[in-house]
Structure 1
Amino acid sequence: MRLTLLAAACLLIATQARAQDAAHTLAQDAILVDTHIDAPTELLERWSDLGGEVKDREFDYVKARKGGLDVAFMSIYTSPKQDEDDTAWQVANAMIDGVDALVQRHPDKFALLTSPGDAARLRVGGRVLLPLGMENGAPLVDKLENVQFFFNRGVRYITLAHSAPNRLADSSYSTDKKWNGLSDFGRQVVAEMNRLGMMVDVSHLADASALEAIRISTVPVIASHSAFRHFTPGFERNISDEIAKAVAAKGGVVQVPFGTMFINPASAADGQALYHARQAFDRRNAELKAQGKPQADRDAFVKAWEAAHPVRSSTLTQVLDQIDYGVKLLGIDHVGIGSDFDGVGGELANELKTVADYPNLVAGLQARGYKDADIRKILGGNLLRVWGVIEAGAAK
């Protein structure tokens, strides 16, 4: 009996080892594309040489190669505050400078990527390719020519708004809907992005803004890092079935993130409540300022709120459930990954904590019965195809 149990245990271990090997092999062989990594924000706040292994960063070269990552969209993120104080343009350029410096220091490890057609050639030798995605259209200020300026600097998608309304569109987080769609300038920006072959990103947008962007675009659009609202009712930041279907019908792709706030319903509710609480707090402070009265301490307010709402956890299973739902809703050709590594303060699904962990995702997909050819689509094939269609649209 003991020998039988021992044999069964050995067989299980061997089977698990083979599954891990198969997942690792596929992650290394496929062209793996992640459409949202916030390394530039971290580089600007505290420079670290990502050409080596950096223990407190979720993206670096060593981890990327271990995980099989080939194409890592660097997020050029600017905040609503930077929009308000007119520093967004400078901050965005400084972040791009940081990515450029990384490539110049390590041309054997990194390369800028500005066209999907160059991916196969540039990744030879183990390079990790770094296209740019602008998270928040604030750096455009109100100058349409800045779309061309940032395109020339390597930006290949723009998330039209972030966590507050801006000059282009409304935010999903904010209760204030300034445009109920796109502004006139926002519509001009979408047209200019179509002309240049720059991807329009509807993640973070309020529903009406996302739907109008999809409707007026002459080419497919993407959601660079949006989980499905089906799992988090009332959380507008996640994409609704209606909008996801519109993205797919246009030929685009929805990229699933790994952040706990997006995939854990309780965490999503906490996140939405915090944004609304901060909005109410800021309105009250504005009233106090107008009355000449002392204002409350915003940092203390947020700290107290967060203390009353402890950080929650999430799982690889929840990420896989998101992908399953997207595939069933939209089809295998319209789902990808946009992790949000380095952008959510480490609040990520367990087993998906850094870019070294993509093989865990692959193993999970294989265990759920996905064929390797379909996993390749999810890992990056879909995004590269859509980007190519958008680029070809500009050529026309």
Structure 2
Amino acid sequence: MNLSKNQVLSLSIVLLSFIVNGCTLSNKKLPPSPKVTQEQQQKALTPEEIHEKVLTIDGHIDWPYRQFRYPDFQPNIRHQPGELDSGQWDIVRMEEGGLDAVFMAIFTVQKERNQQGHDRAKAEAIKMIEITKKMVESNSEKIELALNPEDAERLDKMGKMAIFMGMENGYPIGKDISNVKFFYDQGIRYITITHFKNNELGDSSTDEKQEWDGLSVLGEKVVKEMNRLGIMVDISHVHDDTFWDVIKLTKAPVIASHSSARSLENHPRNMSDEMLKAVKENGGVVQVCIFDTYIKKLPQTAERKKAMKTIEKEITAFRQGKLSQAKTEVLKQKYRQINEKYPKNQPTIADVVDHIDYMVKVMGINHVGIGSDLDGGGGVLGMNDVSEMPNITKELVARGYTEEDIQKIWAGNLIRVFSEAQKVAREIQNQEISGK
């Protein structure tokens, strides 16, 4: 796949948003959602009561990378949305948002693809895992590290929130398949095969051209090893050919930790109807990504376009990893000033739930979940940070989703896939022991 100059710039802005997210807020208000009838109100719980009752899991939050870059951030205090480096997640706002569990994404920026680059990425991933574990240990009265699907409900009953870990980008694995087991032992429970660029495992949906025509030979071995260990295979970010290779190869259901519907927003990061149907047949789950770029592309003003043009070269340098920390800080400030002076037109929670509606129509209620990508995305009105998670439930209720439906979307479907991945792993390991 060849990307145009405009598409490359767009992807650069996406990556910049990964660092800047949460720094600007719109003063716009969400349009009112349709109201349920009086009869429905009498028979059903309120949206707030449903949100409190059901188990809620966000399948993808990028806090570890933010903490890695900004070590002075204090996750145990409430940060005011819109302030510089406030981020979109902290423990207090997670509690306010009624989130019972999250998958923290251990994300590594991809640079040189050689032994030195892979070693650096592995070291950074280890550091972010350590940061996450230390954060959990320091706040053990409220949160606990989770390793198995049943931990989410167990901790919820204890009045604690669960912190799972996934790895976004298989780049730290390098060419050493033993790293898959290493990261499993560190607590990683899903691995996203690629990120914005191709790596040693396979092709990305957003690189300028394909390299492997899907999974590499090593990538095939890694998928098999993930199946053997019980690590969920995450097909967000991968090229379509990589996706189909995974679907043909995997023995366990897959997840798309943060992807949306391509039919509603035609972006290579989103999934086509054929891919959605294949995930259904596989028994997997696709978790809607709450990131404006992948939800709904809206026209921007000429003034904003002109202002963004002035930082185009800096954005490109940033994307290529050629911008120093000091210059990155200056770029962030310029980007924030542009957003304040020329606010970006943003999609709403209703647009997010449009994707949920569409995927339920294509896949059925048993295969849709939520992976917000907060602290790495955002830009949706009504979802400035994790404290606003109840807005999703409110919109789902307004559209007629039942409590059972909402439970499946928020956690049930992901827990089922997680459990099945572990079941498949036990079967494979038992076969190895018996010599079959």
> For the superposition of Structure 1 and Structure 2, which TM-score range results when normalised by the shorter chain?
0.7 to 0.9
Contact 2:107-2:168 within 8 A present in 1 as well:
yes
SS of the residue 2:345 aligns to = coil
**Paired residue for 1:215?**
248
> Aligned to 1:101, which of 120, 134, 137?
134
Distance 1:179 1:24, change over 3 A: same
Query: CA–CA distance in 2 between the matches of 1:151 and 1:212?
Result: 23
**Paired residue for 2:355?**
322
Query: CA–CA distance in 1 between the matches of 2:425 and 2:228?
Result: 5
Amino acid at match of 1:22: T
Contact 1:351-1:357 within 8 A present in 2 as well:
yes
Query: CA–CA distance in 1 between the matches of 2:299 and 2:63?
Result: 23
How many residue pairs end up in the alignment? 357
> Aligned to 2:399, which of 343, 349, 368?
368
Deviation at 1:312, TM superposition (A): 3.5
Deviation at 1:307, TM superposition (A): 7.1
Amino acid at match of 2:109: S
Amino acid at match of 1:58: Q
Is it true that 1:34 corresponds to 2:58 in the alignment?
yes
**Paired residue for 1:24?**
48
**Paired residue for 1:52?**
77
Contact 1:112-1:129 within 8 A present in 2 as well:
yes
Deviation at 1:265, TM superposition (A): 2.8
**Paired residue for 1:313?**
346
- After the TM superposition, list the runs of 4 or more consecutive aligned residues in structure 1 that deviate by more than 3 angstroms: 18-21, 82-86, 298-304, 306-312
Deviation at 1:266, TM superposition (A): 4.1
SS of the residue 1:76 aligns to = strand
**Paired residue for 1:62?**
92
After TM superposition, the structure 1 = structure 2 runs for residues 286-301 of structure 1, keeping only pairs within 5 Å, are none
**Paired residue for 1:246?**
278
SS of the residue 2:77 aligns to = coil
Instruction: Provide, for residues 323-342 of structure 1, a one-character-per-residue CA deviation record: whole Å limited to 9, x for no partner.
Output: 00000000000000000111
Larger relative contact order (CA 8 Å, sep ≥ 6): 2
Distance 1:310 1:181, change over 3 A: farther
SS of the residue 2:258 aligns to = coil
Instruction: Provide, for residues 40-65 of structure 1, a one-character-per-residue CA deviation record: whole Å limited to 9, x for no partner.
Output: 01111113232231231211121111
TM-score by length of 1: 0.83
Instruction: Provide, for residues 151-200 of structure 1, a one-character-per-residue CA deviation record: whole Å limited to 9, x for no partner.
Output: 00010000000000000011111121001110000000000000000000
Segment of structure 1 superposing worse, 57-66 or 101-110: 57-66
Instruction: Provide, for residues 306-355 of structure 1, a one-character-per-residue CA deviation record: whole Å limited to 9, x for no partner.
Output: 979974311111001000000000000000000011102xx421111111
**Paired residue for 1:3?**
none
**Paired residue for 2:11?**
none
Is it true that 1:147 corresponds to 2:171 in the alignment?
no
**Paired residue for 1:257?**
289
Query: CA–CA distance in 2 between the matches of 1:114 and 1:196?
Result: 13
TM-score by length of 2: 0.76
Contact 1:172-1:205 within 8 A present in 2 as well:
yes
Query: CA–CA distance in 2 between the matches of 1:267 and 1:139?
Result: 37
SS of the residue 1:390 aligns to = helix
**Paired residue for 2:83?**
none
After TM superposition, the structure 1 = structure 2 runs for residues 373-392 of structure 1, keeping only pairs within 5 Å, are 373-392=404-423
**Paired residue for 1:169?**
202
Distance 1:174 1:364, change over 3 A: same
Deviation at 1:267, TM superposition (A): 7.6
Amino acid at match of 1:356: S
Deviation at 1:301, TM superposition (A): 11
Contact 1:220-1:386 within 8 A present in 2 as well:
yes
Query: CA–CA distance in 2 between the matches of 1:172 and 1:127?
Result: 37
Deviation at 1:28, TM superposition (A): 1.7
Query: CA–CA distance in 1 between the matches of 2:259 and 2:172?
Result: 22
Distance 1:267 1:128, change over 3 A: farther
Query: CA–CA distance in 2 between the matches of 1:81 and 1:310?
Result: 32
Deviation at 1:135, TM superposition (A): 0.4
Instruction: Provide, for residues 14-36 of structure 1, a one-character-per-residue CA deviation record: whole Å limited to 9, x for no partner.
Output: 98xx7998222211221101111
Query: CA–CA distance in 2 between the matches of 1:82 and 1:98?
Result: 24
Query: CA–CA distance in 2 between the matches of 1:342 and 1:83?
Result: 26
Query: CA–CA distance in 2 between the matches of 1:185 and 1:143?
Result: 9
Instruction: Provide, for residues 199-246 of structure 1, a one-character-per-residue CA deviation record: whole Å limited to 9, x for no partner.
Output: 00000001000111111001100100001000122x211111111111
After TM superposition, the structure 1 = structure 2 runs for residues 258-273 of structure 1, keeping only pairs within 5 Å, are 258-266=290-298
Query: CA–CA distance in 1 between the matches of 2:247 and 2:364?
Result: 18
Is it true that 1:394 corresponds to 2:425 in the alignment?
yes
Distance 1:267 1:26, change over 3 A: farther
Amino acid at match of 1:243: M
Amino acid at match of 2:379: L
Contact 2:144-2:162 within 8 A present in 1 as well:
yes
Query: CA–CA distance in 1 between the matches of 2:132 and 2:54?
Result: 24
Deviation at 1:261, TM superposition (A): 0.6
Contact 1:168-1:182 within 8 A present in 2 as well:
yes
Contact 1:221-1:247 within 8 A present in 2 as well:
yes
Contact 1:51-1:109 within 8 A present in 2 as well:
no
Query: CA–CA distance in 2 between the matches of 1:192 and 1:267?
Result: 44
Deviation at 1:104, TM superposition (A): 1.0
**Paired residue for 1:160?**
193
- RMSD of Structure 2 on Structure 1 (CA): 2.9
Identity of aligned residues (%): 37
Distance 1:267 1:393, change over 3 A: farther
Is it true that 1:194 corresponds to 2:218 in the alignment?
no
Contact 1:38-1:75 within 8 A present in 2 as well:
yes
Query: CA–CA distance in 2 between the matches of 1:267 and 1:129?
Result: 39
Contact 2:396-2:406 within 8 A present in 1 as well:
yes
Distance 1:180 1:36, change over 3 A: same
